Amino acid sequence: MSEERDIALARKGRITALVIAGTAVFWIVATFAGAQLELSQRTRALFDLIALAGFVLALVMIFQIWRARQNSKG
């Protein structure tokens, strides 16, 4: 049972890493595209908020992984 839990936690860790990397790439591309296309500040702020939401989601996922490992220790 412990091995299955470790596999599940490792999978969730990989997904979290992909969320972080994907959010970072999105944010960089959105910032660059916003400047090149001369989008309004309001639209650029929307992209920033979307990226912020992605990073917050990643933090929540990291916290869940941490709690699951704490529960499995004892």
pLDDT at site 72: 81
Interval 12-61: pLDDT, tens: 999 999 999 999 999 999 999 999 999 999 999 999 999 999 999 999 99
pLDDT > 80? residue 1: no
CA 51 to chain centre: 9
